[in-house]
Structure 1
């Protein structure tokens, strides 16, 4: 295959990815491959394109690279120039707006409420203005279930709206590509390539703060709404504000347990009940609304 044609093909992202996988699986040599050896990493279209373009040719029982050394040299040359530069380019992310920063400060203050009775009592008293009438209308276990449903709903929606899954996937893809190139270079014992890849990994690692900010932004807004609810529940149970008949739950295996009785390890019953309801609610909401909250 002429060098110009090969370079043109490698310039195509799908072919470039496919060539990288084939080089990795064959160790850059004349080892034969069958479709079953690469179908976990390549699409059938990529596999067929490699054969159609003559990068893979028929062997005795499978397919081999038409000219492994030539293909590897061209691929490494391209990889060290255009693609490498693109991989380590800074992934642009939107800075936090002023209201995101305000939410972060509020979340921190609310978080301190776990240890500060003064802050906790103030937050719980404000929450009780809204939630007090609800506790008079429903038994406490139903109030916890209702709060778990509400917090699960807005947590799921906020995470799906504020999480930039596309950019997070870009960060992950970049690190995976660098790791694959490092493994291939180690197999070839290419010290020069390993040194270059290590520099790129160090530069890419510096951008991990960007991915952390992307992931933490929705968590800040979730904490702003969730922590006050949790502090109110703690105030209600541990502060002696439950009704006379609100003693606890009947739990399988454990039987009748009080709300403050430890159920799983050191966790009291009310925390276990809240988290079980919250996790179940989030799963139902995600399935019902078909909400995607992680990179595909």
Structure 2
């Protein structure tokens, strides 16, 4: 196969992948907007169909364990997607540049070096191109995350309103709580979901070497 044919094939494959990513992105944010602005029947219907998929997990264990397992599945899947849809070399380069820039800018401010401050302001303009490129890349996996996490969020809210659902658990550092009770505005089940996601994400990201930035 010639180089031209290989390049055309790679471009075609890349175009298909980008199209799929854009579709998921649109669907994800479409679901997010619809779940906020449409009447409750939309959220209830969505939650009902999500429950059909999730019920094999949820039916055999307490709700908080089901949340832990679902958080693990979503976090692993989204991290893998992030790993292969983002340019992590660019990400690390931009973050390291930002760290170095902030440090040098503070030093120039403290020393009153107006000439260096002006130079740094010019350098910031050149850094914006890489930052813009990185922001566009971050939208790609965001589509999948929103597409999956929003229906699961509303499913959990819907499920906990069903009669006969046992909603208590022993919460870290607090003791036995009812998961539908609120703490700092949000119900405990939301905090539990966030704790699970952050803990699992930290382990998975380290294992897959995504998002790590060496300190400057």
TM score, norm. by length of structure 2:
0.72
**Contact kept? 1:248, 1:259, Cα under 8 Å:** yes
Distance 1:199 1:182, change over 3 A: farther
Secondary structure of 1:219's aligned partner:
helix
Mapping for residues 124-203 of structure 1, pairs under 5 Å? 124-172=47-95, 191=115, 198-203=121-126
Q: Between Structure 1 and Structure 2, which shows a larger proportion of helix residues?
A: 2
Q: Unpaired runs of 5+ in structure 1?
A: 1-93
Q: Which has the larger radius of gyration?
A: 1
For 2:197, the equivalent position in structure 1 comes to: 278
- Deviation track 1:91-115 (CA, whole Å, cap 9, x = no partner) reads xxx9992222212211112212145
CA distance in 2, matches of 1:203, 1:159: 26
**Contact kept? 1:168, 1:214, Cα under 8 Å:** no
**Contact kept? 1:128, 1:232, Cα under 8 Å:** yes
Q: Unpaired runs of 5+ in structure 2?
A: 1-13
For 1:267, the equivalent position in structure 2 comes to: 186
Q: CA deviation at 1:276?
A: 1.8
Distance 1:173 1:134, change over 3 A: closer
For 1:249, the equivalent position in structure 2 comes to: 169
**Contact kept? 1:261, 1:268, Cα under 8 Å:** yes
RMSD after superposition: 3.4
The count of corresponding residues between Structure 1 and Structure 2 is 195
**Contact kept? 2:82, 2:141, Cα under 8 Å:** yes
TM score, norm. by length of structure 1:
0.54
